[in-house]
Amino acid sequence: MTDAPSHLDSCITEVWELLERIGHETTDSPGITRAAWSRNEELAADLVRAFARRHGLQVLNDAFGNIQFLLPGVDPETPCVTTGSHLDSVPHGGNYDGLAGVAAGLAVLAAANAGPADRARPFRAVAMRCEESPWFGTAYLGSRLMLGLSTLDEIGDLVRSDSGKSLRQHIQNLGYPRTDGAAAPVLNSALVTSFLELHIEQGPLLEADGVPVGIATAVRGNVRFPDARCIGAYGHSAALPRRFRQDAVLAVAELALGLDGYWKDRIAQGDEDFVFTLGKFSTDAVQHAMTKVAGDVRFSLNIGAAVKTSLDEARTLLFDLIKGIENDRGVTFELGREVGTTPTRMDPALIALIEDGAGALGIATRRMPTVGHDAAMFVRAGIPSAVMLVRNANGSHNSDEALDREDFAGGVRVLGRAMHRLANAR
C-alpha cells in the first residue's frame, strides 16, 4: 500500500487554497452563503471542476448538477471507492461545512493521479448539491437525486424559500442536464463499493477533548413534537394557594427537568448519545401577565439518539412523566403531531478501518454520534458508509466556523489512507 505522501501533501496545500478562494468568492457578510442551485453554489462547482481538470481528472455532471470526479481512463460504470460531500451552505454559514469534504476528495484523487497506480479498485469523488434544509425545507436533495432515492418528478415542484422558484426551474436555470461529460444517471450500490465522507464536526466535542478527528458511529435519529402544548388554568399570582394551581409553566418545566435528569443519568452511565431540546417555549402573549399563573404553554420537543432503543426508552419515559405531572398538577398535555427519523448506523468495518489507519498515522480519533450528512443517504441506498469528523472550534451553521489547516490535512491523510486500503481490499 502506498499513500504517496509527498503528492498528497502538495495536493492538500492546493485544495486549501481552493477552499479559501471559494470562501472568498461566496462571502455574504457575516459568513458565506451558497444557496442550493444558486449562482454561488454554481461558482463553487465551477472552481472545483476547474481544479479537477487541472489535475487531469475526469469531470462528469449528472442531470441535476451533482459532479463526479474519476481518474483518467476509469469507466464511469465501474464500481468505485467513493468520497465527497456537499457544495451548498446554510444562509450566512461557514465555508467548510460540506466544502471541506469535497476538497478532501479532490486532494486524494489528485494525489492518486500523480502517484503510482497501485489500486485494484478505482476512486470516485463527488460534489453534491443541496444538503442543507433551509433552501427547500428538506435536506439531502442533491444526494437523493444522485442516488435515485427521489426523482425530479417527485420533488421537482418544491419551492426554494428565498427565490420562490421551483427546484426544477433552478436546475434548468443552471443549464442541467448538460450534454458534455454526462455521469451515470444514478449512482447506486453497484457503482459505489463504499462511501467515506469527511466533514467538519458541528459541535464542540473534539475541540474540548483535544482530538483532531472523530469517527461517526451513527447519524442520530429523532422523535419530535413540533407543536406541543400544556393546558392548565389561569389564576391570581398572589391569591391562589399552591394546591389550587394548574400552572402550565411549572408543568412543562417539570417535564423538561425530568428529561434532563434522565439525560444526566445516561451520561453518568457513560452514554453520551442522548440529547433533547425544547427549542420553543412560550406562554400566550395575549393572556399572560406577571400577576397571572400561566394557563397555557406551547413548546416544541426534539429528542435525539443514535440508537433506536434509546429513542424508544426516552419516548416511554416522556409519556410516564406526562402522566405523573398531569395527576400532580391538574394540567393536560397535548403533544400534537409526532414526526421523526430512525438512527442511521455507519458501517462497523469501515469505522474500524479508519480508526486503525489513523492510529498508524499517529492521529488521535474518538468515536461519536453525528448529525445528518449525505452519508446517511448512501446508507439508505444500501452502501456501506462512514463519516470522518474534523475538529472545528466554533460549531457549524454559523459564520465563525473555524477549521485549522493542520487538522484538515490530518483528516485528508486519514481519508486517503482508508481509501487506498479499501481499493485493495479483497
- Helices vs. strands in the chain: H and E counts, helices first: 12, 17
Cβ 130 to Zn ion shortest distance, Å: 11
| Residue-wise DSSP of 143-209 | HHHHTTSS-HHHHTT-B-TTT--BHHHHHHHTT-S-SSSBPPS---TTTEEEEEEEEE-SSSHHHHH
Residues in 19-48 that interact with Zn ion by CB under 5 A: none
Using the rule CB under 5 A, which residue among 14, 41, 88, 97 binds Zn ion? 97
Residue 98 or 369 with smaller CB distance to Zn ion:
98
CA distances 201 to 54, 138, 207, 210, 392, Å, are: 30, 21, 9, 13, 6
Size of the site for Zn ion (CB under 5 A): 2
Residue 95 or 365 with smaller CB distance to Zn ion:
95
Residue 100 or 111 with smaller CB distance to Zn ion:
100
| Residue pair 57/117 in contact by the 8 Å Cβ criterion | no
Distance between CA atoms of residues 123 and 83, nearest Å: 8
Cβ 131 to Zn ion shortest distance, Å: 5
| Residue pair 202/97 in contact by the 8 Å Cβ criterion | yes
Cβ 396 to Zn ion shortest distance, Å: 7
Residue 97 or 201 with smaller CB distance to Zn ion:
97
Cβ 200 to Zn ion shortest distance, Å: 8
Q: Is 273 in the site for Zn ion (CB under 5 A)?
A: no
Residue 89 or 246 with smaller CB distance to Zn ion:
89
Please tell me the number of Cα atoms within 13 Å of 70 on its side-chain side.
Answer: 21
Cell of 313: 426508552
Residue 293 or 368 with smaller CB distance to Zn ion:
368
Residue 109 or 139 with smaller CB distance to Zn ion:
139
Cβ 197 to Zn ion shortest distance, Å: 9
CA distances 109 to 7, 98, 115, 116, 120, Å, are: 10, 17, 10, 12, 15
Residue 115 or 372 with smaller CB distance to Zn ion:
372
Residue 98 or 105 with smaller CB distance to Zn ion:
98
Residue 371 or 423 with smaller CB distance to Zn ion:
371
Q: Which residues touch 34 (CB under 8 Å, ≥6 apart)?
A: 26, 40, 41, 44, 87, 88, 89
Cell of 234: 389561569
The amino acid at 33: T
Cβ 306 to Zn ion shortest distance, Å: 17
Distance between CA atoms of residues 219 and 175, nearest Å: 34
DSSP state at residue 243: G
Which span (11-19, 95-103, 143-151, 223-231) binds Zn ion, by CB under 5 A? 95-103
Buried b / exposed e along 297-308 (16+ C-beta atoms within 10 A): bbbebbbbbbbe
| Residue-wise DSSP of 337-381 | --EEE--EEPPHHHHHHHHHHHHHTT--EEEEEE---THHHHHHT
Q: Is 98 in the site for Zn ion (CB under 5 A)?
A: yes
Cβ 80 to Zn ion shortest distance, Å: 22
Cβ 90 to Zn ion shortest distance, Å: 9
Distance between CA atoms of residues 330 and 298, nearest Å: 17
Cβ 416 to Zn ion shortest distance, Å: 20
Taking alpha carbons only, the member of 169, 168, 128, 122 closest to residue 146 is 128
Residue 4 or 32 with smaller CB distance to Zn ion:
32
Q: How many residues does the chain have?
A: 426
Cβ 413 to Zn ion shortest distance, Å: 21
The amino acid at 275: V
Q: Is 201 in the site for Zn ion (CB under 5 A)?
A: no
For residue 227, which phi and psi values (nearest 5 degrees)? -130, 55
Cβ 364 to Zn ion shortest distance, Å: 23
Residues in 314-353 that interact with Zn ion by CB under 5 A: none
Note the residues at the interface with Zn ion (CB under 5 A): 97-98
